[in-house]
Amino acid sequence: MKALLFLLEKEFRQVFRNPAILRILFILPVIQLLLLPLAADYEVKNVKICVVDYDRSPASQRLVHKITSTAYFKLVDFTDSYAKALQYVEYDKADLILQIPAAFEKNLVRENTSTLFIAINAVNGVKANLGGAYLRSVIQDFNQELQTELIQLPRQNLHPVISIASSNWYNPLMSYRLFMVPGIQVLLITIVGAFLSAINIVNEKETGTLEQINVTPIRKYQFVLGKLIPFWVLGLVVLTIGLFISWLIYDIVPVGSLVTIYVFSALYLIAVLGLGLLVSTFASTQQQSMLISLFLMMIFILLGGLFTSIESMPPWAQAFTRFNPISYFIDVMRMVVLKGSTLYDIRDHLFKILLFGLALNSLAIWNYRKRS
Amino acid sequence: MKVISVRNLTKRFGSFTAVDNITFDIEQGEIFGFLGANGAGKTTAMRMLCGLSRPTSGEASVAGYDLYKNANRIKENIGYMSQKFSLYEDLTIRENIRFYGGIYGLSLSDIRSKTNLLVKKLKLEDSINSLVKSLPLGWKQKLALSVAMIHDPKIVFLDEPTGGVDPITRREFWTLIFEAADRGTTVFVTTHYMDEAEYCNRVAIMVDGQVEALDTTGVLKAKYAAKDMGEVFLQLARKAKRGDG
């Protein structure tokens, strides 16, 4: 065990002497947590709309005014030519075209009905979808206003209106940041746990010091522990920095207990450290380990439920996310930070991450043995 | 007393036999030279004796321990230095000595006295707290050799230790080797330099994975009617069928 202490001492010395690792440890969390939640955002704002008004009536004016007074839409042009509007779309200057037909108001008053036409630029699917939906809800709103105004008599409404009152649980303001920040913390911990550790071990292979270690009486498990413990500690340090930043900048205080977060993180780190160890057994140069890591990271992140909801993925992708440790951690972080889930509530996740830890580490050790 | 005893040791990689049925003994305190062209199997043979590579067949005991049964006891009793520099470049001289001393189980006071002795001998007192990467190659190699022997091993294995080092430093390096041998340490060294072969007590010449000749330099030179070890080596190595690498 004394040998392990010397290994740990050496490892920590090297980490704190390596400017690249220090940057990743202390600057990366700050930058990611500052930039990503502010910029990478699902809320669609500034949808560029072009209105083609063939009616030019008070009613159409009112509708246009109602649309442009929301923060979501930016009026590009107000024109009377559909062709011109389409040109805006072609040059990507407009996302939406709202066409108001001639006699829009007249039909409304006389026949109690009228039609509007919306054309959507669907190159960016998310923006098109949400922009169209926003516009529809604004128009619906306008529709109801008109009904109450125009149909004075009889007082009882001809069309039964079901109005929906919703309340958003756990994230009442539907703040996107509240949803993103805990997820980004997961990424940070994963980077430290899985990939810094892999690069570090492979570095020893590359420089030849690993061979020197192999002729000393150090046992393999001691060497592995000497590598994993420092990154386990550093992962928890990064978690702490992340929690501090999210409190400082975003005022996010986990509803649940910090103990729950740390217990899960500690187990999660064991699992991803196993992944790092596994990568290091495959790679013989730092470049290789970096590329393998990048590849795994891309898949894990994109299919991890950070940016897109897992429930809306196709069945095969959903099946895959069951083998993605990141998705469990993102889930847990959101549960604990937003809902205040307890250790008991996340017992399923705890159990699964424990299995991951066992499986990945056994696999790594097995492959390590086979290759030596 | 025999400190290394090798019987029919063989290592195959697939269908390629890197080391083919070699047998020899090495006495305590000997400087034993291992010569051979590139790819002759020197490094593979040495790596097996150090426990870095498992033999395919054959038997060997190193420092009195069986290669298969007591690999870890062997590791406590040997030092190893390869052509690839093996100290931590981002640690200082003092930290490297402390680390290797520590993992060989030296006490803190032993480490301290060893450190002082070592830097004094290598005249590195002034740079003891500078990073190893800032040292010139020759100094690094001498330091690496001294660190490989920090735990006073019974045997030290040197795999082409003087590659790329200038002649003066090579001479100094060999002074360190002679001193170790005088203290009773057995030195097992592979080399390409024929002048270094002359420094060895006994020399084994490997050709195509087999030990083609093994004796003192004097006997070998007489046997092959050669004026120096270079000629002996060329006569034997010419028979090699394996190419470079």
What one-character-per-residue DSSP string does A255-309 give? SS-HHHHHHHHHHHHHHHHHHHHHHHHH-SSHHHHHHHHHHHHHHHHHTTTSSS-
Q: How far apart are CA B41 and CA B18, in angstroms?
A: 5
Give residue B245's pLDDT.
44
Minimal-distance CA residue of chain A relative to B91: A14
Chain A residue numbers with beta carbons less than 8 Å from the beta carbon of B132 are: none
B103 shares contact with chain A (CB less than 8 Å):
yes
**Chain B nearest C-alpha distance from A10 (Å):** 7
CB-facing half-sphere around the CA of A11: CA atoms within 13 A: 25
Query: Which of B87, B88, B104 is nearest residue A216 as measured by Cβ atoms?
Result: B104
Question: Which pLDDT band, with edges at 50, 70 and 90, does A158 fall under?
Answer: low
Give residue A152's pLDDT.
59
Domains of chain B (ranges, CATH numbers): 2-84+136-237 (3.40.50.300)
A211 shares contact with chain B (CB less than 8 Å):
yes
Give residue B3's pLDDT.
92
Give residue B130's pLDDT.
93
A19 shares contact with chain B (CB less than 8 Å):
no
Query: Which of B88, B90, B103 is nearest residue A3 as measured by Cβ atoms?
Result: B103
Say if residue A344's pLDDT is above 60: yes
Query: Which of B51, B88, B95 is nearest residue A215 as measured by Cβ atoms?
Result: B51
Across the interface, whether the CB atoms of A14 and B87 are under 8 A apart is answered no
How confident is the model over A109-141, as pLDDT tens digits?
A: 888 788 889 888 888 777 788 888 888 888 888
> What is the residue-averaged pLDDT of chain B?
90
The residue-averaged pLDDT of B219-228 equals: 89
Say if residue B46's pLDDT is above 90: yes
Largest CA distance in chain A: 97
Give residue B5's pLDDT.
94
What is the H or E stretch that residue A228 is in? helix A220-250
B94 shares contact with chain A (CB less than 8 Å):
no
Minimal-distance CA residue of chain A relative to B82: A212
Question: Which pLDDT band, with edges at 50, 70 and 90, does A370 fall under?
Answer: low
The residue-averaged pLDDT of B53-80 equals: 92
Give residue A153's pLDDT.
53
> What is the residue-averaged pLDDT of chain A?
85
**Chain A nearest C-alpha distance from B196 (Å):** 24
The residue-averaged pLDDT of A211-236 equals: 90
Say if residue A12's pLDDT is above 80: yes
Say if residue A341's pLDDT is above 50: yes
φ, ψ for residue B24, nearest 5 deg: -165, 165
Percent of chain B at pLDDT exceeding 90 = 63
**Chain B nearest C-alpha distance from A241 (Å):** 27
Give residue A321's pLDDT.
84
* B156 closest CA partner among B29, B8, B16: B29
Residue B71 contacts residue B18 (beta carbons within 8 Å): no
Q: Where are the domains of chain A?
A: 11-40+173-371, 47-150
**A47-150 CATH, one of 3.40.1710.10, 3.40.50.300, 3.40.50.10860, 1.10.760.10:** 3.40.1710.10
Query: Which of A14, A215, A216 is nearest residue B88 as measured by Cβ atoms?
Result: A14
A18 shares contact with chain B (CB less than 8 Å):
yes
Highest mean pLDDT among A299-308, B101-110, B230-239: B101-110
Say if residue B241's pLDDT is above 70: yes
B188 shares contact with chain A (CB less than 8 Å):
no
